[in-house]
Amino acid sequence: MTVLLEMKDIHKVYPNGTKANQGVDLTVHEGEIHALVGENGAGKSTLMKILFGLETPTSGEIRYKGQPVTFQGPRDAIKQGIGMVHQHFMLVPSLTVSENILLGDELRKGFFSLFRDRKRELTEVDQLIQRYTLKVDPQAKVEMISVGQKQRVEILKVLYRGARLIILDEPTAVLTPQETDELFHSMKELVKENYTVIFITHKLREVMEISDRATILRAGKTIETVQTKNSSQEEISKLMVGRNVLFRVEKEEAKPKEPVLKVNHLTVPDDKGLEAIRNVSFQIRAGEIFGFAGVEGNGQTELIEAITGLRKIKSGQIEYLGQDLTEKTVAQIRAMKIGHIPEDRQTTGACLTSTISENLILDCCRAKEYRRGPFLEQKKIKGFSQQMIKDFDIRVQNEDALAGSLSGGNLQKVIIARELSKNPKLLIASQPTRGVDIGAIEFIHREIIKKRDEGTAVLLVSAELSEVINLSDRIGVLYNGEIVAILDNSTPLSEEEIGSYMLGIKRQEQEAVAE
Amino acid sequence: MNTRKTLTLELTGIIGAALVAILLGIIIIYIVSEEPLTAIQSLLLGPISSAFNIGTVLNKAVPLIFTGLALAIVFQAGVFSMGAEGQLYMGAFVGALAALYIPGLPVWVHLPIIFLAAICAGAIFGAIPGFLKAYLNTDEIVTTLMLNFIAILSTSYFVNNIFKDPASGGYARMQYIASDLRLGRIVEGFTAHYGIIIALATVIVIYLLLYKTKFGYELRMVGQNSRFAHYGGISTKKIIILSVVISGGLAALAGIIEILGVHGTFKDYFSINLGFDGIIIALLARNHPFGVAVAALFYAYLQVGAQLMQGASDVPRELAVIIQVILVLLVSSQAIFTFLRQKYLLRQGR
């Protein structure tokens, strides 16, 4: 095995003071699939951005093919044969697949190379597709193809530019289980041809399945590099978190009672006025967790915004404990004991430039007991904040620290503390553990289940299918704005089963969906 | 990093910037002046060399405190109003009319009416861009700048025509306001008038409003993260409009107090950019009311010092403008602060 890439003692401090890398070492061999694992915020993405020339390291050394290199920008990295597929696709939707692949490197012909050689372009792209079995129609417009295919276009783009080392940044985050399998197949094909792949993930099952070796990062430092076949999920997760982790969520059987939320024939427009949610009906009862599965962008966001009053609906009813929610303001809905953990905690769920305390009092600043005359009761607010920090194990110096200084998990705990402290009858949790470390995930799951056992109706939306399966008592699958199935999950379903509904391949009978 | 450390860092940054600006000013004096020591002495020590000068500094600071507060409050709400100058003229104009044309009232009734009239005028004028922004999403920078012209030029028209004092000759001004309605000196023989006391009291009121009430909390949340505010059920429209209304009222106070305390009547173009200086004051103060008081005093000190320097030496008063500009450049360079913060964290990390 020849060493292809060595990164030594990499440090990176961002201008806002975040220390993303504090001495990371990474050695990658030629022709291997190397998994880069760690919790969110462990510094994986930063390290790869440094490798791809998108960030300059504060200190450290990079050796590629034995030579020390410094990259001023992605162009330098591409020249050396390094390519990166970003988590968020960078494609032009209105152009075709082959135009996207060739963008900036079009083939020319004729007088002074003034004309594009479309014929040769198509054959080259075709060859590329055949060779690596990355199935996609080169003439299709990118806006028309699926997420999995878009990812293949990204990989083809990288291959076309002659990359020998391919970085995949959390490629499976947006994929269904079936699409993930196909991606893994392509990765294996590439490695056979002596390509090298660095694969960023925090899903351990994938690490075990696909990688040859794995480097584990924690808190911006390299913890260890292991041979995957000599290791286990348990060992890697322990290295990632620094302690033993429970994989299964322990919960008792649900004892659902009366319906809390009834949604009838709801249609909700998206920002462009198109129907993001079409004629959706479901009920959630007190004491049960109703989970929504579905590939992101199938109407989950709009559904939740409609229920919480953040988005105007087009038609239908939303009934909460006998009251119609559709005409209520956000403030009225929040005052009705409805808790909402929003999907984007950085921009919606919290105010990063404010203190923890200010983030916690969003609702109670309106309550009478926190006010005296025109003033807020500073002492009570302080007491409340300190209580929350203690109860929810928020790791912070004091309540006056800025929310922006917290890690993802701790920030999410602030939001959860705020939303659960009002003892909600209905809790809407959207991506409650996205980008949160494993320890905090356990904690958040326990809190949600505790609320369920106390009789709260819980609506859960998560892009993490395993989370939906682990927590939910019933599962609704959203596809293209419609509920295509409502499944009983009292004995956990398999990911594949739900996956086929998520892709729109399978569909329940309408009567079953309508209950 | 907690708030106190951030605060210390920011304060060091701002004070450092002030020192650097003054230092550069001194260097410029050495370059241009034949008698640099006299110039520096009158610039730096002149303002505190006599009770008269100290009083002048305080009087100059009064309108700056009000316009600084006016802008600090809208900036905290995330509204980038540039309209303080126009609101100041509207307030001063309507307040002066109330002082001149409501006859036969005892002073203790008349004076509050004058203030109220001024505040209402500024607030209503300020509300216009607020409604436009809240309901039509109009860019407030453009609307407030345009409304400034409307306010300044229309009051100018009236004071040149309808309300012009016939005895004023070549000057465009109204009649002089009765002396018992004007703001007198706090201590006989000391130049400072009651405006400074009203200004400092307003600083405390605005501080309490911003940091100790529900309204202030909601206002700051809207300014810092309007999505978070919306998600939390805060009516962002209401907050935006109220913030510009309060801001307009404060700018109007700057105008009417300047009339009652200094000029004694409404004069054409009496405010030389007080409303725009307020932007700089709010910027220096990082939109904090206490900071506004300090920054306004510093600003006034610099102006008085420059005036004295011009009288005592061969350096023109415009040097103060140079120092101000350097200061603004330094303080607005956020990059410097982030750089310092990064260095600080690096040192801690190693």
User: A39, A437 in Cβ contact below 8 A?
Assistant: yes
Does residue A244 carry a pLDDT above 70?
A: no
Same-domain check for residues B257 and B113: yes
Taking residues A61-71, report their average pLDDT.
Answer: 90
Same-domain check for residues B81 and B230: yes
pLDDT at site B112: 93
Residue B38 lies in a domain: no
Taking residues A321-338, report their average pLDDT.
Answer: 90
What separation, in Å, do the N-terminal and C-terminal C-alpha atoms of chain B show? 16
Taking residues B328-347, report their average pLDDT.
Answer: 67
Which residue in A489, A431, A419 sits closest to A456, CA to CA? Answer: A419
Query: The domain that contains B202 carries what CATH number?
Result: 1.10.3470
In chain B, whose CA is at the least distance from the CA of A305? Answer: B231
Alpha helices in chain B (DSSP H): 3-32, 36-44, 51-76, 84-101, 107-136, 140-160, 195-212, 214-224, 226-231, 236-258, 274-284, 289-312, 319-332, 334-349
CA B259, CA B268: separation in Å to the nearest integer? 11
pLDDT at site B147: 95
Residue B221 lies in a domain: yes
Same-domain check for residues B18 and B157: no
Taking residues A483-505, report their average pLDDT.
Answer: 83
Does residue B5 carry a pLDDT above 70?
A: no
Closest approach of chain A CAs to the CA of B334, in angstroms?
Answer: 11
Shortest CB distance from B224 goes to which of A22, A354, A366? A354
Instruction: Tell me which residue range forms the domain holding B321.
Output: 1-33+315-350
What is the count of residue pairs from A and B with beta carbons less than 8 Å apart?
102
Biggest alpha carbon distance in chain A? 82
In chain A, whose CA is at the least distance from the CA of B220? Answer: A354
Residues 6+ away with beta carbon under 8 Å from A283:
A259, A261, A262, A263, A515
Q: How many residues does chain B have?
A: 350
Look up the ipTM and state it. Answer: 0.82
Same-domain check for residues B144 and B293: yes
Query: Between these two residues, A110 and B248, which has the higher pLDDT value?
Result: B248
In chain B, whose CA is at the least distance from the CA of A405? Answer: B1
Residues 6+ away with beta carbon under 8 Å from B236:
B134, B222, B226, B229, B230
Provide the CA A128 distance to its chain's centre, in angstroms: 30
Same-domain check for residues B73 and B221: yes
Same-domain check for residues B93 and B226: yes
* In chain B, residues 229-248 whose CB comes closer than 8 Å to chain A: 229-235
Residues B60-109: tens digit of each pLDDT: 999 999 999 999 999 999 999 999 999 999 999 999 999 999 888 888 89
Looking at the 3D structure of chain B, how many domains does it have? Answer: 2
- Tell me if chain A has a CB within 8 Å of the CB of B179: no
Shortest CB distance from A330 goes to which of B3, B233, B349? B233
Residues B142-187: tens digit of each pLDDT: 999 999 999 999 999 999 888 888 887 778 888 888 888 888 888 7
Shortest CB distance from B214 goes to which of A329, A331, A365? A365
Same-domain check for residues B218 and B287: yes
Q: Is A16 in Cβ contact with B338 (below 8 Å)? A: yes
Same-domain check for residues B272 and B340: no
Domains recognised in chain A with CATH numbers:
3-241 (3.40.50.300), 246-337+423-515 (3.40.50.300), 354-421 (no CATH)
Q: What is the DSSP string of B4-66?
A: HHHHHHHHHHHHHHHHHHHHHHHHHHHHH-SSHHHHHHHHHTGGGSSHHHHHHHHHHHHHHHH
pLDDT at site A250: 75
The two beta strands, A67-68 and A59-64, are antiparallel
